[in-house]
Amino acid sequence: MEGETVYGIENGLKLCKDRLNRDKRISRDIKYAILDFVDDLAIMNVSDHVQYSYIERLEIVARMMGPRFLEPNRRIVKETMLSLKRSKSRRNDYYSDSTLNSIYNANVNASFSISQEEMDWSIQHIHVCVEGQH
């Protein structure tokens, strides 16, 4: 696609995958799960931009969750999101609501162990976690 070339996303996606593979804080099994999910996205013709975004977001969550990343439940996802809400990004600034939403959605979408019912519940309650309204 033309947009892929204009923005150099193909190279960016490769570099993002390489960075994930080099990250010593993430286990090999978790790296495999993330890359396997991204391969599924590629098979479904999801753009390289979206794949890049998923890797970036899931890498953050994987570092925080550790081994629990492979078998998350609603409580673990909520704890991780609340922890992210209080933490600072690599740029030493707090994560924006839109970034937290995309991290949360990446985590829920990549987690095949969460049922559709739990995914629906989680999406309905994202603002509770992210905005701390309740």
pLDDT exceeds 60 at position 126: no
pLDDT exceeds 60 at position 114: no
51-97 confidence digits (pLDDT tens): 888 898 888 889 888 999 888 887 888 888 888 777 766 665 676 77
pLDDT exceeds 80 at position 110: no
For residue 113, what are its two tokens?
Answer: 């162990």
Contacts by 18-21, CB closer than 8 A, 24 or more apart: 19/59, 20/55, 20/59
39 neighbors 79 (Cβ within 8 angstroms): no
- Read off the pLDDT band of 112 (50, 70, 90): very low
**CB-based contacts of 9: which residues, under 8 Å, 6+ apart?**
3, 47, 48, 49, 52
pLDDT of residue 128: 43
